[in-house]
């Protein structure tokens, strides 16, 4: 398995902008060295296979994904309680060896954090996206019982010390500064770790 020079682990509430920021970071760092890995990818793929669903549609930010979210969460919890690192391992198996900066765009649980801390401690930087409920609502968030009060949405809300906090409340200038900071950090880590 390939060894990354840097792992950015992104976390945030629904519609806080995890995918948006992951894309921006990847663009700035360079897609030739940086890849986005989604912990929800293998979960959705397996769930789609088992239930005759369209995997591609489950990946997109569409109503299709929202229709199956609650059932997928329940199914994922079952798998995870048997093996907490199951989806993390499946995800990193998909990493391309020639791009050794990883952005894990959707950490949701303490077990996700524990897995990456245990396996990639030296190169791991954790990032929490913050965003007001009002802005999240403008981006399509609707509170859904059973989803937004479940562990998958609240598991990392408290008792976690993040390396970096990015505010994605709509202030573009502030966001640019935060992204610049992360890009510089990644470039530094890449130089330090690329040949180790
Ligand atoms: N800073 C921003 N400026 C403009 N649009 C944004 C910004 N951040 C997020 N968005 C938009 O808000 C929507 C939700 O963002 P995104 O899909 O990245 O959130 P998410 O945290 O990944 O959500 P989910 O947890 O539901 O997958 C998208 O349409 C995205 O393009």
Q: What ranges do the domains of the chain cover? A: 6-193
Residue with tokens 């806080």: 16
Is ipTM > 0.95 here? yes
- What is the C-alpha separation between 90 and 93, in angstroms, rounded? 5
Q: Per residue in 51-95, pLDDT tens? A: 899 888 887 757 888 888 888 888 888 888 899 999 999 999 999
C-beta separation of 87 from 45 below 8 A = no
Check pocket membership of 141 for ligand 1, CB cut-off 6 A.
no
Distance 90 CA to ligand 1 centre (A): 25
Nearest atom in ligand 1 to 175's CA: 1
Query: What is the per-residue pLDDT for 68?
Result: 86
pTM of the entire predicted model? 0.91
C-beta separation of 116 from 9 below 8 A = yes
Distance 164 CA to ligand 1 centre (A): 19
178 assigned ligand-binding residue: no
**Under CATH, to which class is 6-193 assigned?**
alpha beta
The alpha-carbon radius of gyration of the chain (Å, integer) is 16
Nearest of 182, 147, 111 to residue 13 by alpha carbon: 147
Check pocket membership of 18 for ligand 1, CB cut-off 6 A.
yes
Half-sphere exposure of 50 (CA within 13 A, CB side): 11
Q: Per residue in 109-138, pLDDT tens? A: 999 999 999 999 999 999 999 999 999 999
Task: Please name every residue paired with 126 in a beta bridge, in sequence order, or none if there are none.
Answer: 9
């Amino acid at each position: 398995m390939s060894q990354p020079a840097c792992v950015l682990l992104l976390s945030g509430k629904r519609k806080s902008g995890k995918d948006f920021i992951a894309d921006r970071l990847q663009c700035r760092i360079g897609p030739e060295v940086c890849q986005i890995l989604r912990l929800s990818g293998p979960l959705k793929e397996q769930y789609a296979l088992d239930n005759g669903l369209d995997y591609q549609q489950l990946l997109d930010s569409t109503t299709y994904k929202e229709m199956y979210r609650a059932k997928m969460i329940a199914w994922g919890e079952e798998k995870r309680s048997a093996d907490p690192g199951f989806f993390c391992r499946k995800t990193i198996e998909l990493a391309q060896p020639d791009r050794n900066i990883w952005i894990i765009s959707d950490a949701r649980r303490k077990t996700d954090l524990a897995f990456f801390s245990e396996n990639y401690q030296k190169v791991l930087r954790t990032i929490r996206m913050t965003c007001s409920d009002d802005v999240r609502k403008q981006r399509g968030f609707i509170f859904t019982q059973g989803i937004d009060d479940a562990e998958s949405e609240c598991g990392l809300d408290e008792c976690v010390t993040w390396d970096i906090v990015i505010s994605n409340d709509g202030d573009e200038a502030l966001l640019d500064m935060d992204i610049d900071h992360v890009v510089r950090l990644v470039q530094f880590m890449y130089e330090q770790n690329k040949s180790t």
